[in-house]
Amino acid sequence: MPAAPWMRAALCAALCAALSGLACPAAVAADIALKSQAPAPALALPAVGEQLLNMTVGLVDTFMVGHLGASSVAAVGLAN
């Protein structure tokens, strides 16, 4: 089974550090880039959920006043 990209970058950085005593800049940069992209879906999930709930509330509000007439539906649309 092939190693994950972040594992390869970490191994390269460890090897460079062991051989030269310095950190390998390319491996460190790749490792940082891969780790910084990982939490993006986890951070976006609450925002997506909030938008879906907000849209659902607006839809329910429109359905609740739909039988009252066009001006009521327009007022609910303007309030949302």
Q: What is the pTM of this model?
A: 0.48
Q: How far apart are CA 24 and CA 80, in angstroms?
A: 53
Q: How far apart are CA 46 and CA 41, in angstroms?
A: 9
What's the one-letter identity of residue 19?
A: L
Q: How far apart are CA 17 and CA 19, in angstroms?
A: 6
pLDDT at 48: 94
Q: Give per-residue pLDDT as tens, 22-63.
A: 656 666 666 666 666 657 778 889 999 999 999 999 999 999
As a whole number, mean pLDDT of residues 63-78 equals 92
19: helix, strand or coil: helix
